[in-house]
Structure 1
């Protein structure tokens, strides 16, 4: 039996309040512009239900979306902070949240309140329910995380801008930012400082701190291709669409379909980011991922002293934010602009039925549901590593060498593992003269101040002189790249690494040229006929690198 109606008051709720009033905060952001962000939630009074039937409580969605294995490993968000931006606030949040924790069996929540432009002087019931939804359900899925609730004095663009600005400037340690609101791209001003470009710069700062920005896509469905809302349309923001979720009687996952209200489509502002190439058209497409959002399969929320069943894509944003906070804790990583990594993940519930009125759900990525809804345990596990696929072709001394890598970077251990294949062909006859796949295991990335790097060599034993495919893996802010250089074998003495002996052999014949008595072709790494500064720089670049013979 589920508790509905009434006022829930349970002791033990940790709250701190910061009334932040810097005189010039956001003074240049369209304070006279009364366009307002709209909350993306739909609600109605709740009724009694049984496990597996809506309104869902945390235990239902924890099981359905496979959060339980994470909690069994004590992955609950502890040590992380989730920022939530809302407007107007919720005057009964403390008692409602305590009551919600009490009847759902959650531990008490730690919520820190911030008011960048002062405490709101009036309330708004829609935003009160929105605020309760955001806080209660971020806490439901990441019960160990602290919540930083940043409240705008109202929902005007200037007020919301100031709230996000506060996150950018004052909460750099937060793992995630959740935003359950938006406004159609076409409704933003095109001049002044309350433009989309101004907001985008905030997300540049926020993601540079390692904070993931998450936003709901909207609840209007779609009637055309190109009327999506911002901030969900920003390529630095993870856009969350909506589904209708059905569970089995034991609350295990049954199936989902696209929710009719899931706003989706193509941006009229942002071009296609690289991680969406091949999808949709030439512009940034929403959505990226999805979550239960149908108000008829909604979640239980206590707000304003009463209980509600709440839906809308607002329900998904704080829960995806919570999931990414769990990943941050489990993997000791702050992800920042995480979208490109999530597009490499395949362990989603792929939603293939239903539509939002214009776009239909399809196998793989689609507009209303994106990549799908999460398998939380698989998502956290995947985000502990990065995949790196790279292919490079070079030629030297009449040989064409193609190097292909399929590598995994363990983000917590900072190690590289996987397979790299080398195929060498005669450049004239195209005959294959050497092929081998090398197994790379747990090579350690080294801290280079602004990046993490590791280099290694793949020996190519051919005549007249052995070659080497020299690979450097570089990791900068969770983006991995591979560079490949083809040279003669750098490990001249063949002892398995580039060391001082190899450098000494090269130095002893420095400045010698082909045809002279001192010239050593094995030290002419770039095979240009002279042992010069280029060869020395190559030896320095790969000094200490392991040679896979």
Structure 2
């Protein structure tokens, strides 16, 4: 097994957020922002016109019934919150710089935003977070190494026992066909698990294709291999088969299973609608002058809604939906306030910014991992409901992802709402049980 060490990015003496990237990322970012002192005034008008963040979906749109879509959104242009904060700190006008630079939030940002700085430095050793995705990423381990070394996180490799990649059958040698889009998703998921729980082991389980049957088999494989925390960053339309999928793939007491709520705004998706999982919505996250140092609102792409098929879990008591309500909790997902990811398969090797509820699902799975092994027979989706209305969760009270009735299923309010559930993590209490 690997030797655990505290990540330098999270130490009390660590530099400010926008200076925390090392090695290649520093060089790239320096090049991007070089020369702004002389060019910034001339470029100000153009910068304003091009500051709107744009993005594209990493994975292809499913073409067959029963296929799932990954929820990774890669930023392609404009300004991110990270870039704006960096420019402000350096006293320059924000500039629509080369988006392939590390222009998204990193580990110290995310740990700070969710009250995890001390926990991430000391907890999670020996725990295994499973990442379930479709197809193979041939560069997964190498890209993970670049991300972790750039942020001063301990190495996580096959050799030191921290990282393992298997197919849905458990094979380490007979893997699915490679796919560039899903490889972006895999890089995002691995990097987020690393950012939140640097001392955790990571198990990547690759399904043969993105069907619910194969992805569900991969979930079962992750649990069979000992993972107590399983992140799923994909989803699709609900169907009358969902109840059978629930019992076949997601009913794992004592295992925290998180699922992306979706990136298309109001509307229920599966498997987020499963009563056995923690459905994770998305927020826009920005630095602020508050005591917390951060502020959040609903990301307008966050999925939410009322399931047409899945029964309501006993711990869910909202009255505007007789079946399963989505979401339970949330974390950052807005591409405009996105996260830094390193990826090299199928794209130009380098740093990218990603959003989507593919960001928020592995973040929450990793928070569960920091919080400790779920009690035997428990359904960890219930844990945040036990802490509802307390300081253990950041209540998100502004923003909307569409129009609906009753309004709380698509519009933020005090307490529970669809897009953000009970809110975002503030430490570990809401994820312990």
TM-score computed with the length of structure 2 as normaliser: 0.72
Structure 2: distance between partners of 1:5 and 1:251: 33
User: Do 2:400 and 2:412's aligned partners in 1 also have CA atoms closer than 8 Å?
Assistant: yes
Q: What is the CA distance between 1:353 and its match in structure 2?
A: 0.6
RCO comparison, higher one (Cα < 8 Å, 6+): 2
How far is the alpha carbon of 1:174 from its aligned partner? 1.6
2:426 corresponds in structure 1 to 375
> 8 Å contact 1:291–1:374 — kept in the other structure?
yes
Give distance in 2, aligned partners of 1:280 and 1:376.
Answer: 29
Quote the Cα distance in structure 2 between the aligned partners of 1:79 and 1:376.
20
Q: Residue 52 of structure 1 contacts residue 251 of structure 1 at CA under 8 Å; is this kept in 2? A: no
1:36 to 67, 81, 85: 67
Once the two structures are TM-superposed, the CA of residue 41 in structure 1 deviates from its matched residue by 1.4
- Provide, for residues 479-516 of structure 1, a one-character-per-residue CA deviation record: whole Å limited to 9, x for no partner: xxxxxxxxxxxxxxxxxxxxxxxxxxxxxxxxxxxxxx
Q: Larger Cα Rg: Structure 1 or Structure 2?
A: 1
Shift of 1:197: 2.9
Note if 1:163 corresponds to 2:218: yes
User: Are 1:243 and 1:256, in contact at CA under 8 Å, matched by a contact in 2?
Assistant: yes
Query: What do residues 372-414 of structure 1 show as CA deviations (whole Å, max 9, x unaligned)?
Result: 011024435xx26xxxxxxxxxxxxxxxxxxxxxxxxxxxxxx
**How far apart in 2 are the matches of 1:116 and 1:71?**
29
Q: Displacement of 1:202 after TM fit?
A: 3.2
| Aligned counterparts, 1:201-280, within 5 A | 201-203=247-249, 205-207=251-253, 210-222=254-266, 227-248=267-288, 253-280=293-320
Task: Report how far residue 175 of structure 1 moved.
Answer: 1.6
Identify, as 1 or 2, the structure richer in helix: 2
- Alpha-carbon distance, 1:344 to partner: 1.6
Q: Deviations along 1:59-83, whole A, 9 cap, x unmatched?
A: 11111111013245x22x1121111
Offset at residue 288 of structure 1 (A): 0.4
Query: 1:286: Cα distance to partner?
Result: 0.2
SS at 1:61 equivalent: helix
**Structure 1 or 2: larger strand share?**
1
1:184 is displaced (CA, Å) by: 1.3
Give the Cα–Cα distance (whole angstroms) in 2 for the partners of residues 57 and 249 of structure 1: 20
Contact 1:60–1:252 (Cα < 8 Å) also in 2? no
Say if 1:301 and 1:310, in contact at 8 Å, map to a contact too.
yes
Q: Distance in 1 between matches of 2:262 and 2:198?
A: 26
Counterparts of 1:458-477 in structure 2, within 5 Å, are none
Which whole-Å CA distance do the structure 2 matches of 1:230 and 1:369 have between them?
Answer: 17
- Aligned 8 A contact 2:120 2:196 in 1: no
Matches within 5 A, 1:215-364: 215-222=259-266, 227-248=267-288, 253-304=293-344, 305-328=349-372, 333=375, 336-345=378-387, 346=390, 347-358=392-403, 359-364=410-415
Task: Give the C-alpha shift of residue 121 in structure 1.
Answer: 2.5
Correspondence for 2:138? 91
Point out the more displaced range, 265-274 or 175-184: 265-274
Q: What is the distance in 1 between the residues matched to 2:166 and 2:350?
A: 25
Say which SS state the counterpart of residue 131 (structure 1) adopts. helix
**2:110 corresponds to:** 61
**Residue number in structure 2 paired with 1:496:** none
Whether 1:152 and 2:207 are equivalent positions in the alignment is yes
CA contact (8 A) 1:52 1:60 kept: no
Q: Aligned pair in 2 of structure 1 residues 175, 362: CA closer, same or farther (>3 Å)?
A: same
Deviations 1:343-396 (A, max 9, x none): 02022111111100222111110011110011024435xx26xxxxxxxxxxxx
Are the structure 2 counterparts of residues 201 and 57 from structure 1 closer, same or farther at C-alpha, using a change threshold of 3 Å? same
Deviations 1:399-454 (A, max 9, x none): xxxxxxxxxxxxxxxxxxxxxxxxxxxxxxxxxxxxxxxxxxxxxxxxxxxxxxxx
Cross-structure match for 1:28: none
Rate the CA distance shift 1:335–1:137 in 2: closer, same or farther, 3 A.
farther
Q: Distance in 2 between matches of 1:88 and 1:283?
A: 33
Cα distance in 2 for partners of 1:251, 1:94 equals 38
For the aligned residue pairs, the C-alpha RMSD in angstroms reads: 2.6
Q: How does 1:375-454 map to 2 (within 5 A)?
A: 375-379=426-430, 383=432
Structure 2 counterpart of 1:135, from 190, 197, 201: 190
Cα 1:348/1:52, change in 2 over 3 Å = farther
**1:476-515 matches, cutoff 5 A:** none
Change in 2 beyond 3 A, CA 1:336/1:212:
farther
Give the CA deviation at 1:213: 0.9
Aligned to 2:152: 105
